[in-house]
Amino acid sequence: MVVLTKDLLGFSELVINRGIGADVVAGIAFYKALPIAAQMFPFATLVGCLVALGRLGADREILALEASGVAAPRLVWPVVSFAAGMTVVSLAMSLVVGPWAGRSQQASLERVAREKPWSRIRAGAISTFGGVQLEAREVSKAGDRLEGVLVFMPGLADTVFARSAQIGTDASGSITLTLRDGSALLPARPAAREVRFETLTTQLPQTAFDDLRSAADAWTGMPLDDLTREAARFDREGNAGGSRAAVELHRRAALPFATLAFGFLAVPLFLTRRSFSRSSGGVIAVLSTVAYYGLVQLGEGLIQNGKLSVAAGVWLPNAVLTGLAVVLLTRVLRERALGQVFDRPRRGATANETVLREVRPRRFALPRYVGARFATLALLSFGVLFSAYLLIDVMERLEWFARYRATGTEILRFYGARVWLLASRAIPMAILVGTSLTVSLLAVEGELIGMRACGIPVARAMLPVLILSALFTPFYFALNDVVVPRTNALADVLKQTEIKQGRGSGEERDAAGEWFRSGNQLIEAQRFDRERGEAQTITLYELGADGHPTSRTDARSARHIGHGEWRLAGAARVEASLGSVRSVAAPAFVRLGEELSSEVDTMHYSVAELGREAAEIEAAGYDASVLRTDYHRKLAEPLACLVLPAVVMLFAVGGPPFPGPAQTLLVSGIIGVSYILFTGVAASLGHGKAVPPVVGGFAPTVFFTALAGWFGFRLWRRL
């Protein structure tokens, strides 16, 4: 249901607003659900088995079995038996039901596309008919009459504006689009000109429902006999189409047998845990599912690179699962059935052996001990936080990777560049949590009391934590200032040149790009990134009262500098008035309006580059408060690696009595969240010119420095 939700919302639109019968749409949704259900079987089996085992463990039933003489590893066989039965069902779904549903869905979509090709057109959304893109500001209930129309014509290689349009079918069943009162303003290069017409009629390709089809429908819906012949032809001829057929053929068998592999893996994977709970099984199952999809992507990448054969690449995830299950089962049998292999007596040692060593004083023993403990806990915290950031980022991009059919190698290259950004986000919080854990454990184990009893001030004993944090601050600054801008730019290049290049679903718009309206302006861009405030191959139209363009500005790229102002690169401009068209000097800055909300991305800038960019914009007479605020914020961010640990440390050592671990961790969490929120609020105030840029950048650091000073003063008074 989660996977289908997006499509079901689109299907409901067909019934409510486009006049397609509910029975037809329900049939399309049913046909689409069956292949998805077939793909869910292996993972449903794993989740179900692990959750059931978690319940057995949490309710002490596994303990009761072992107390009754039944070894827990024997649970493998009933689970494997159940998984074998599910494998048979999954095979039937994958080999027979799934392809039949794919063919039926495609036939239903093609029938709807022939009878009502306009049924997918929605106001303000781009509809694709082959290479033709269409958008309308108003659409009639049936979808056949349009107002305020934009059309990208591949033959003209440009955008056409029309006051209204009618879409329908002719006697031969072809889709016809009739535009009325239209115009096109062509760019300055090679020659500026304007085209006007009263009526224009063109035929559209019947591809209105491409966005509901998968790019691989031709293979997923193919009968097994035809698919086998295509795969055999690949073995003989080595053609690319046969390669996809061979991959699909092996995948139809490999995915159902993953059900059996997951069933074999479930028990040893669960029994490796030291404690049982109902929720832990679900968490392990989700992580295993993500890992399996990663192996699938890796296998496809190795196939495309010629490193593995089709069979080896497709069956690689199942082989890894089976091998892991064997290893874990062997380990579980050794520990649970054959006794513990740990704590064996040393050869030649006696039970009463006592080793006496000369105790020598060690210089800086206490600072080294505290520093080592802090470094260990900070690294552990970093690993946990970094893994969480990485997992969330991967989960958010799974659909994007699938849409562009990214290979495992491409994903690894992309994250090889992106991990530095994720690491930079985790480092300050890892140092904060590491400090909190260090102080908490020293307090729980009585070591802070021991220090006080020996006459050692606790604040002085914890000084290594602050020294290590201070030493790391310049390295964090270098990471943010040198490494992250370059690697983030590299990740963006890899995304555009390797993953997106020449791929995608029917939703891609390689010709016209995307259209955005802002007041009396229309922006057309090949790539428009709101989060980063960037646009590539941008065209800006200014529209008259009749909806036709009065000017056109083309630019190679554009970057948001704040408050709706954009900086253009490589711009050229033409203006049309009274039937004449002329080229004029293009502005270096344009205002696209506040309606077109977009961030100002400064992540690709170092501090020095950001300062130069702000100076150039101010020299041109424009406001650079956004860039100036981010400039000061970049200078202040590394200080968080020192200030935040100082706050939580000075709070936690103010005893005795010392605050408990839960209280210290809670305070550190509040400090971390408050710092993030305060940073965002201060930056927003600086961007909006409510406060000076230096205040917007440094206010959070100054506030928490003052808070650390207050805790330090309180501690000094108590001493």
Whether pLDDT at 703 is above 90: yes
The phi-psi region of residue 364 (left if phi > 0; otherwise alpha if psi is between -120 and 50; otherwise beta) is: left
Phi, psi of 541 (to 5 degrees): -105, 140
Could you tell me what percent of the chain has a pLDDT over 70? 78
78-127: pLDDT as tens digits: 888 888 888 888 888 888 888 888 778 777 766 766 666 556 666 667 77
Whether pLDDT at 705 is above 90: yes
Whether pLDDT at 470 is above 60: yes
Model pTM score: 0.53
How is residue 169 written in tokens? 């079918």
- Name the average pLDDT for the chain: 77
Output the pLDDT for position 505.
Answer: 40
One-character DSSP codes across 87-134: HHHHHHIIIIIHHHHHHHHHHHHHHHHHH-TTTT--TTS-EEETTEEE
C-alpha to C-alpha distances, 187 to 43, 132, 165, 588, nearest whole angstrom: 53, 19, 24, 17
Output the pLDDT for position 339.
Answer: 42
* Close Cβ partners of 478 (under 8 Å, ≥ 6 residues apart): none
Whether pLDDT at 504 is above 60: no
**Which residues are registered as beta bridge partners of 145?**
166
Output the pLDDT for position 500.
Answer: 66
How is residue 140 written in tokens? 């009639």
Three-state DSSP state, 82: helix
pLDDT tier, 1 (very low <50, low <70, confident <90, very high otherwise)? low
Output the pLDDT for position 341.
Answer: 33
| Beta-strand relationship, 158-169 and 175-186 | antiparallel
Span 295-304, average pLDDT: 76
Cα distance between the two ends of the chain: 62
C-alpha to C-alpha distances, 92 to 85, 96, 98, 263, 563, nearest whole angstrom: 11, 6, 8, 18, 58
Q: Taking Cα atoms as reference points, which of 515, 556, 507 lies closest to residue 404?
A: 507
How is residue 579 written in tokens? 């039937």
40-62: pLDDT as tens digits: 888 888 888 887 887 787 778 88
240-295: pLDDT as tens digits: 444 677 777 888 888 888 888 888 888 887 777 666 655 666 667 777 777 787 78
Output the pLDDT for position 530.
Answer: 64
C-alpha to C-alpha distances, 595 to 195, 290, 354, 538, 562, nearest whole angstrom: 29, 38, 79, 17, 13
169-199: pLDDT as tens digits: 766 667 788 899 988 888 877 677 888 899 9
More confident residue, 258 or 346: 258
- Which segment of 373-382, 408-417, 542-551 scores lowest on mean pLDDT? 408-417
More confident residue, 14 or 559: 559
**Which residues are registered as beta bridge partners of 164?**
147, 180
Nearest-angstrom CA–CA distance, 439 and 441: 6
Whether pLDDT at 536 is above 50: yes
Question: HSE of 691 in the Cβ direction (CA atoms, 13 Å)?
Answer: 15
* Close Cβ partners of 166 (under 8 Å, ≥ 6 residues apart): 144, 145, 146, 177, 178, 180
- Please classify residue 453 by burial: count the beta carbons closer than 10 Å to its beta carbon, then call 0-12 exposed, 13-18 middle and 19+ buried: exposed
Phi, psi of 660 (to 5 degrees): -70, 170
Whether pLDDT at 128 is above 90: no
Q: Using omega within 30 degrees of 0 as the cis cutoff, is the peptide bond preceding 190 cis?
A: yes
More confident residue, 184 or 402: 184
How is residue 64 written in tokens? 């009761």
Span 509-531, average pLDDT: 69
308-318: pLDDT as tens digits: 788 888 888 88
Confirm if 704 and 712 have CB atoms less than 8 A apart.
Answer: no
How is residue 404 written in tokens? 């562009």
- Which segment of 457-461, 548-552, 567-571 scores lowest on mean pLDDT? 457-461
Whether pLDDT at 533 is above 90: no
Nearest-angstrom CA–CA distance, 272 and 260: 20
More confident residue, 237 or 558: 558
Whether pLDDT at 16 is above 60: no
613-669: pLDDT as tens digits: 888 878 877 778 888 888 899 999 999 999 999 998 888 877 667 777 777 888 888
559-608: pLDDT as tens digits: 877 767 788 888 888 888 777 888 888 888 887 765 555 556 677 778 88
Span 512-517, average pLDDT: 71
Output the pLDDT for position 278.
Answer: 57
The C-alpha torsion from 284 through 288 and 291 to 296, rounded to 10°, is -170
433-457: pLDDT as tens digits: 899 888 888 887 788 888 877 878 7
